[in-house]
Structure 1
Amino acid sequence: MIWALTIALGALVGVSLGLTGGGGAIFAVPLLVYGLGFDSRQAATMSLVTVGITSLIGLLQKAAQRQLEFKVGLLFAIAGALGSPIGVMLAAQLHETLRLALFAGLMLVIAFQMWRRASTVQLELPLAWHRTPTEQRAVTCQRDPEGILRITSPCALLLGAVGIGAGILSGMFGVGGGFIIVPALVLFSGMAMRRAVGTSLLVITIVSLTTLLLQTLDGVEIPLITTSLFSAGSIAGLLLGSGLSHLLAGPRLQKVFATMILLVVIFIITKTVLT
């Protein structure tokens, strides 16, 4: 039955989110397009509902564990909210085939980023704490001895620019942008990886819901029953994936998911060329 398929496909998205901690939502649009038959723009809107809800649940968990920096996340979220209308406008102007081709290119970037991250040892302490004073002076965003980020004008502009980029991608493709936000928080703000993941969930939640509002105001219809079933499956999958992540987490798992993304890209390109 179609409702069972919808829940199962949503669960695949949730499991990938729970296992990888970011980037898993990229599977939502292909599953909605090729698994359930929606066009890419409608699938992007439905994906935003799923991404927003699952990110909110993850955010509440991270907030309880105090694994987020609210001020930095809010700065990113405001910038993302400014960028999302641009993405929505661009999506409305793109042909279906071109939109899917660009989405496939985005997936390639994500696959490469996930593979590279899996091949690199991640530091659990903020990177800025490991820099020498000379290196600190050359960094746009710096932290005080207590580890609190000094949000100066250059730092705010840098983080805001990255946030706008994530918002544009969210508006165009229905992705949360966590694959951009997490590395940016670590590299540019010197944030610890665990805090970066938690902070990114705050950004993804706000940007996804803002973009969703813009999409609906732009006339994109949301099939409520299908979206609800897909989101419910994703939430269940998220809880399952989070539990399995303690058993399966590691660089090899990241590379497996990068390979899966690459296979989806090949499938999208093949379908686009054949049609």
Structure 2
Amino acid sequence: MLTIILGALVGLLLGLTGAGGGILAIPALTLGLGWTLINATPVALLAVGVAAAVGAADGLRKGLVRYKAAALMAGAGWLVSPLGLHLAKWLPGAALMALFGSVMVWVSVHMFLKARAGCPADEDMDPKNCQLNPSTGHLKWDVRCATTLASIGATAGFLTGLLGVGGGFLIVPAFRKFSDVPMHGIVATSLMVVALVSLGTLGHLVYQGFSLSEEGVLFICATLAGMIVGRVVAPNVSGQRMQQGFAVLCAVVSVLMIGKVLLMMV
């Protein structure tokens, strides 16, 4: 029952907040169910990847996904994610947990401040590396735009391999900062990238002998169900309040993870 509840909660937040909610999959498995980070990573990747794929499919149906941008970011992520996987093997479990907790602190503070400030009026006046063509509605492709998107994808891929997160918490704000794509398109495109990078990274783990347990299947199914509910409910939820609440939740979870690391060191 706890596995179902935690999986559904992760999926619900994934659907409500966009791809950023996937960062809670690892804490749900490690703190909630007592798994090690090594055992939790493949299940978290599969759960987030499948759930994000459902959200991305909905975005494709509605014409929101910038599929060329998603393909470029995902391709860069695929190339770099094995480096993260390799480094994760060499780092002690406590170090990885501490690093994950630190990343969650950054995510929570960044998201809370952004939500509290709302959308500053001068934000849209900043020059964008990737701009839409007003006449076609498509991105204007040049070296600057391609390099920016590839860098975002590569960073997300590295973190996916290292920490088992989908990278949506990075893709959404970065894509928003460096492009003038509307927010609905950013979230849908991010979900596509998260799905491709997560499932691609999982392929490396499957090649290394990963097998899925019955509890893992249950968690994944619950995450998928929660994602569907979240996508249905999302239009009726205040985005600012949701981001603030999610930021506070991330902060609490990060403190618990860092506390667990400190207990391991005692």
Q: Aligned to 2:177, what secondary structure does the other structure show?
A: helix
One-letter amino acid of the structure 2 residue matched with residue 88 of structure 1: L
- Unaligned ranges ≥5, structure 1: none
Question: Hey, what's the Cα distance between the residues in 1 that align with 2:184 and 2:51?
Answer: 17
- Which residue is equivalent to 1:206? 196
Matched, 1:90 2:87: yes
1:141 to 124, 130, 142: 130
CA displacement 1:134-155 (0-9 Å, x = unmatched): x75xx43333332321221222
Among 173, 176, 190, the alignment partner of 2:180 is 190
Matched residue SS, 2:187: helix
Aligned to 1:56: 53
* Counterpart-to-counterpart distance in 2, 1:110 and 1:12: 18
Match in the other structure for 1:262:
251
Tell whether the 8 Å contact from 1:166 to 1:180 is kept in structure 2 after alignment: yes
Secondary structure at 2:95's aligned position in 1? helix
Matches within 5 A, 1:164-243: 164-219=154-209, 221-243=210-232
Q: 1:256 to 1:54 in 2, by over 3 A?
A: same
| Percent identity for Structure 1 against Structure 2 | 37
Alpha carbon RMSD of aligned pairs, Å?
Answer: 1.9
C-alpha separation in 1, matches of 2:173 and 2:239: 17
Structure 1, 149-158 or 172-181: larger mean CA deviation:
149-158
Q: Provide the C-alpha distance between the structure 1 equivalents of 2:227 and 2:263, rounded to a whole number of angstroms.
A: 34
Structure 2 distance, partners of 1:158, 1:248, is 31
Q: Give TM-score, length-normalised by structure 2.
A: 0.91
Q: Which residues in structure 2 correspond to 1:68-83 (within 5 Å)?
A: 68-83=65-80
- What CA distance in whole angstroms lies between the structure 2 residues aligned with 1:183 and 1:24? 13
Structure 1 residues 51 and 142: alpha-carbon distance in aligned structure 2, compared to 1, 3 A threshold: same
1:19–1:249 CA contact under 8 A, matched in 2:
no
Whether the aligned pair in 1 keeps the contact of 2:20 and 2:172 (CA below 8 Å) is no
Structure 2: runs of 5 or more not aligned: none
Separation (CA, whole Å) in 1 of partners of 2:117 and 2:140 = 27
Q: Deviations over 1:201-231 (max 9, x none)?
A: 1111110011101122234x33331221001
Query: Which of 93-102 and 264-273 deviates more?
Result: 264-273
> Deviation at 1:122?
4.3
Cα distance, 1:250 vs. partner? Answer: 2.9
Distance 2:33 2:65 in 1: 35
17, 26, 30: which one aligns with 1:29: 26
**Aligned partners of 2:52 and 2:195 also within 8 Å:** yes
Q: Secondary structure at the match of 1:206?
A: helix
